[in-house]
Structure 1
């Protein structure tokens, strides 16, 4: 198993293409984006469970569960980005640099 994030994302995206039924490209892309919403919902469910906010279920999750679900969101978002563009690594790296520069600019909080 490679330690490189984007090599792993490429392998996961290739696996999904092989494992899922053939669909028109636009439909496959939209379904990949919807999967991201599902994963975010699982983060919310885990946080609610870790804090015991559902009286019927009590403390049904741990903070380890929340961490795991957050990792699933990151992986799913990266696979979705890779589905959208083969240059996912470059797109993400450039975007992260812009957000970092903008956020850490000593002149402002824009």
Structure 2
């Protein structure tokens, strides 16, 4: 498995492909919209399935200790509900070797 930023390193990916992998595991905290495109590219490039597990993390998950949560994040959703706003919104998915999204991305 390549973790987070390692997925953007072409030589790291080539080393994985050279091992003859059929399933490329890509755990990350990258919840940007561009992440799924990256996974589709990796799947087609490596002719392998890509399983990406993207963390879901809210302010409520923050440790109960003396750490600061960045001020830009609030404890409430943008719609004013009592649901905590995610700091990392998820985005786990499965992609076929042809770049087809088979499942996901799952957010929140």
Same fold (TM over 0.5): no
Q: TM-score, normalised by structure 2?
A: 0.30
> 1 or 2, which has the higher strand percentage?
2
